[in-house]
Structure 1
Amino acid sequence: MTDATDLQAERRRAARALLASPLMTSGNDDFRLVRKHAGELAAWFTQETGWRLVVDTETARLYKTPARLDDATRPARAPRTKVPFTRRRYVVLCLALATLERADAQITLGRLADGVLTAAGDPALAAAGIEFRMDRREERSDLVAAVRLLLEWGVLHRVAGDEEAYLSEASNDVLYDVRRRVLATLLAATRGPSTVEAVNPDHRLAALTAEVAPDTDELRLRALRHRLTRRLLDDPVVYYAELPEDERAYLVSQRHAITRRITEITGLVAELRTEGIAMADPDDELTDVRMPEQGTDGHATLLVAAHLATVHGPCTEPQLVDLVRQLAVQHRSYWRKTAAEPAAAAELLAQALDRLTALDLITRNGESVTAKPALARYALAAPTIRKARSRS
């Protein structure tokens, strides 16, 4: 019994590690467990999500297909600053990957920059208003952010040098090993990009992730299970009202079976509510946005959430900026000193709203902000004062 329990705990840890890092290299602490349980994990992900798991001696890659292509709340982030990637940085990242595809086993940051500059000369990029020269620190920082993300993914391995020196002066170079096996696993698509004829980015993305349409009732039900399990694993909340009619009907009838299977493999706990389902993590690990979170930003987010949860109807962003200004005065003993500065309230609010949007707790329409049903859990109830019992 103990051995079986230990094996289940190992599989659960390995599954959680893959969900947190779908691209894993041998340097990851949990890589050994993923390799050990690769067969069982691959079978589960194939059966329940339709995701493919490939494991070899150097990498483990869970090829995740997103349930939604319109979710902009999970950007790539600079590893050190956690600042979301801009449009320019995404372009630099793609051009860097294209350069690495043609590179030797080793490459310097200077040669990588030259390759990006050459590729950036494409007339299509110029027509889109994207230009690179690498002669300014800001432009070099875009390349460094992309490189550090590739280092984090394991595509590159730093041999000598440091990116900070390159930021100060482009002549300061850095040497990397190119891990081609990791590079080859990056693209998670159902077809090669060169086979897609669509020009519109949204249409191209849809074509890259399109799956074969099911043509039998059994296959249609399996496709429904895959889409819903993907959303329950990836999304903070799945609202019934936002699902197509067929998905809503299937989830209502199969929610206990689906969530039980997810719990068995991941340890996530289902919160079944009238408005939908959330898979909560008791260990608070399988999330990139925590709520609540320590510090001024986290406290401000929690207080804004509590306010929105008790307001009937939408609030405007200017109203919420005024609220944050009041909160900064009220909590000046606990918040960082700069929170009381005139421009700080707008910045604090922007970060709070971005976090609440990512957690699917609010909707934003222009400057209007409206609470979604799951935000009700953060509403503060009025205190109940009980009378002390008299002692006889």
Structure 2
Amino acid sequence: MEQQEYATGATQVAGGVAGARTGGAGRSTTDAVVAVREAGPDAPQETGPDGGAPALSPDPGLLRLAQWFAEADPGTADDLCTASFGLYPARHFGVPAEPVAQPGAQSAAEPGAEPGTGPAAGPPAVADISWWHGPTAHTPAALRTREARPARGPRRARRDAGALPVVLSGAKPGEPGKHRKPERSRSAAVGTQDRSAAAERRIAARLLLAHPLVTASGPHADGFPLIRRHRDWLTERFDTLLGYRLVVGPWHARLGKAGLGPGATRGFEHPGTGAPFTPGGYAQLALALALLVDAPERLPLGRLLVAMRAAAPAAARSADPADLAMALAALAGWQVLDGIPADPADPETGAVLLTVDRELARAVPAGPPALADDAGDLIRRAAEAEPGTAVRRRLAETPAVLAADLPEDQRAWLRDHRHSGPAALADFLGLETEQRAEGVALLDPAEELTDLALPGTGTPAQAALLLVERLVEEVRPLPDETTGADVPTPAVPIPDALIDGVLGDIADEYGLPAGWRRDYLADRTALRRDTLDLLHRMGLITATPRGTRPPGWLLRAPAARYAPAADLLPAPGTGRHSRREPSVTIPGPAGPREEQRA
């Protein structure tokens, strides 16, 4: 893996892979590229105060990053994590919407036109329908019982034996020769190999997008041979479509993802408990990496902790033991460290020897702040790209892309490449395209290429689905309510009292019968917090713009895909104060009578 030297100011190098092959750091990647120091064999070795083992020297760029994490608020720390590490998984909707009849789909092509160029070959009419009133993926509550899904991983490429043509050489039609085995024709064998190679490449690409760091002995080791086998093709496609740099070594593969900008909601979680990382946890992680990139292969835990405290005294004073445990657990999950004790803060564990993988330690950072002025500058730089690459990144990594959320140049690109842009990614990753008037979503019905699932298991997931469908029914705009020139409304405000009222109703109605966790039923504040957090991370709601008073939530158009279809002509009420339907007088043989208008 190519490295950068910090010295007095880091110099930028072109990204690439082994063998002097240029990789994904080409025309559209950020300036904040990998920049970790690599100590050569002739580098001077500092010694400790007692003249014993060499002192651990921290990497200045990662040390700077640790300081930024320590000073950041939780939201900024998550964005900084996305920009500096790029280890977030992709996130997509899974359930496709119900198909709709396409107007004019049966119309014949014009005389003399080539196949595929007639009126029926144009873009689907459903692309002009709003998410608010289009086809839905709604599932009745009674049908939402879902068993726990197995751990996600790459599906193995399988050959379809029934699809292999057989040439019955020297035999009568329909039966094999007496002394000859059936032979596959050369053309059939070549076609089968091509299909198998295409399937393997797609599996490898999906695996890398879901898990940007894959090791030969890690939890996704069965997909690593596919990545190595197709590394040249994958390197070129990731660079061309997404501007991502792919580095494939003998024992690991690293896809260097770019940042997603502010508000990306892609932070780390504790690999064991699922607790979200805190700014202190990120700071401890960056600080540990700053020392591990040049550490010896065998390192006492106590020596690492002493070096961390010496490198950043201020961060050490304010560090929480849980932050340190969280950081070390993440490093163990990536196989950077091995042999971490259950309680790293216990003084008696200081003599425990850790095994350090320096190559993996250098592979974890994707954009240390070699060229950034501060945390905000790094977040901005990491998300910079030309319009086409920026939109394709959003399509590949996020559940839905709304044109209203894009800058003007990216909005123009999406408008000009409305079908070809998403189609190229869908073919590359094996996804389905959902085009709507507000934007585009790439769906993964297999629910493998996503870190969150909706519908899903667990109390917050079930509550989120029930909540979002009722919010849509309450605040969904009418078809003629638009903003601008015939542009569907991308989001509508949600009254805060409506959230509390609806969530309380569904908790009372579904909670105990559905087996929801009793702590959530007892603590409605926690239920609200975790339910809204899930909807926010799935892109179905978003916070109101900064400065809005009081702050609140907006319901986004893709949320309507999980609600029942809009009933624009509701049945008349039957209450005492309901308005009655108009009636008409129909003459009959026995005199006039009144009948309700149909």
Q: Give the TM-score normalised by the residue count of structure 2.
A: 0.56
Distance (Å, rounded) in 1 between the aligned partners of 2:531 and 2:289: 33
Aligned: 1:193 with 2:369: yes
Deviations 1:149-201 (A, max 9, x none): 1111222233xxx532446x332354321111111122223xx63444x2x32
Query: Aligned to 2:253, what secondary structure does the other structure show?
Result: strand
Aligned: 1:203 with 2:377: yes
2:327 corresponds in structure 1 to 146
1:337 corresponds in structure 2 to 518
Q: 1:184 aligns with which of 339, 343, 362?
A: 362
2:349 corresponds in structure 1 to 172
Q: Which moved more, 1:27-36 or 1:309-318?
A: 309-318
Query: Aligned to 1:278, what secondary structure does the other structure show?
Result: strand
Conserved in 1, the CA contact under 8 Å of 2:391 and 2:410?
yes
1:85 corresponds in structure 2 to 277
Aligned: 1:370 with 2:563: no
Conserved in 2, the CA contact under 8 Å of 1:144 and 1:163?
no
Distance (Å, rounded) in 2 between the aligned partners of 1:60 and 1:42: 11
What letter matches 1:55 in structure 2?
A: V
Structure 2 residue runs without a partner (length 5+): 1-190, 476-491, 545-549, 572-598
Distance (Å, rounded) in 1 between the aligned partners of 2:344 and 2:289: 19
Aligned: 1:296 with 2:459: yes
Distance (Å, rounded) in 2 between the aligned partners of 1:163 and 1:317: 46
Distance (Å, rounded) in 2 between the aligned partners of 1:209 and 1:336: 39
State how many pairs are aligned: 352
Q: Give the TM-score normalised by the residue count of structure 1.
A: 0.83
Aligned: 1:11 with 2:201: yes
Aligned: 1:60 with 2:240: no
Deviations 1:112-155 (A, max 9, x none): 22222222315xx59xxx723xxxxxx22211111111111222
What letter matches 2:513 in structure 1?
A: S
Higher relative CO (Cα under 8 Å, sequence separation at least 6) belongs to: 2
Conserved in 2, the CA contact under 8 Å of 1:236 and 1:279?
yes
Q: Which moved more, 1:307-316 or 1:284-293?
A: 307-316
Query: Aligned to 1:264, what secondary structure does the other structure show?
Result: helix
2:210 corresponds in structure 1 to 20
Distance (Å, rounded) in 1 between the aligned partners of 2:281 and 2:427: 39
Aligned: 1:229 with 2:413: no
Q: 2:318 aligns with which of 131, 148, 159?
A: 131
Query: Aligned to 2:342, what secondary structure does the other structure show?
Result: helix
Query: Aligned to 2:418, what secondary structure does the other structure show?
Result: helix
1:284 corresponds in structure 2 to 447
What letter matches 2:520 in structure 1?
A: A
Conserved in 1, the CA contact under 8 Å of 2:467 and 2:506?
no
Conserved in 2, the CA contact under 8 Å of 1:317 and 1:367?
no
Aligned: 1:44 with 2:222: no
Query: Aligned to 1:164, what secondary structure does the other structure show?
Result: coil
CA RMSD of aligned residues (A): 2.3
Q: Cα offset for 1:262?
A: 1.2
2:100 corresponds in structure 1 to none
Q: 1:99 to 1:318 in 2, by over 3 A?
A: farther
Deviations 1:329-356 (A, max 9, x none): 2121212233331xx2111111111111
Q: 1:204 to 1:297 in 2, by over 3 A?
A: closer
What letter matches 2:209 in structure 1?
A: L
Q: 1:314 to 1:207 in 2, by over 3 A?
A: closer
Distance (Å, rounded) in 2 between the aligned partners of 1:101 and 1:255: 44
2:437 corresponds in structure 1 to 274
Identity %: 34
What are the residue-to-residue correspondences of 1:72-111 with 2, within 5 Å?
A: 72-111=264-303
Distance (Å, rounded) in 1 between the aligned partners of 2:381 and 2:410: 22
Which protein has the bigger helix share? 1
Conserved in 2, the CA contact under 8 Å of 1:269 and 1:279?
yes
Q: Cα offset for 1:83?
A: 1.2
Conserved in 2, the CA contact under 8 Å of 1:79 and 1:152?
yes
Q: Which moved more, 1:373-382 or 1:347-356?
A: 373-382
Q: 1:252 aligns with which of 409, 415, 424?
A: 415
Query: Aligned to 1:73, what secondary structure does the other structure show?
Result: coil
Structure 1 residue runs without a partner (length 5+): 133-138, 212-222, 386-392
Q: Cα offset for 1:99?
A: 2.1
1:135 corresponds in structure 2 to none
2:424 corresponds in structure 1 to 261
Q: 1:166 to 1:51 in 2, by over 3 A?
A: closer
